[in-house]
Amino acid sequence: MTKPLDKKKSFYISVSGRVQGIGFRYSAVKVAAKYRIFGWVRNNFDGSVELECEGDSKNIDAFIEWLKVGPPGAKVIAIEIKEKKYQGIYSNFSVEY
């Protein structure tokens, strides 16, 4: 019997609070690799961090839970999550500038 394929998901996410200058983007890259999440992360001029990410439903959910807290030194005040149509367009997770 074969295991059913996990549903793929894609999201645009904005995280605000103390999320710049504390290694949030590079920590996100490491956590994304752990969960096999693909996409990108970047700082915004307003002090927030934005991401596009895609992957298996279970892994995306775990990644989003991490984003709600962030790395040591972060203080996440708000997270905005918008689900997008999954397209499978990313092959890695990178920091964008």
* Cβ atoms of 31 and 82 closer than 8 Å: no
* pLDDT of 6: 75
Integer Cα distance of 69 and 67 in angstroms: 5
* Cβ atoms of 37 and 93 closer than 8 Å: yes
Domains defined for the chain, CATH in brackets: 18-95 (3.30.70.100)
Q: Which residues of the chain have pLDDT under 70?
A: 1-5
How does pLDDT run across 4-27, given as a tens digit for each residue? Answer: 567 999 999 999 999 999 999 999
Integer Cα distance of 9 and 56 in angstroms: 6
Would residue 33 be called left, alpha or beta, if left means φ above 0 and alpha means ψ between -120 and 50 degrees?
alpha
* Cβ atoms of 49 and 68 closer than 8 Å: no
Return phi, psi of residue 91, to 5°: -115, -5
Indicate the pTM of the whole model.
0.92
**Active-site annotation, residues:** 25, 43
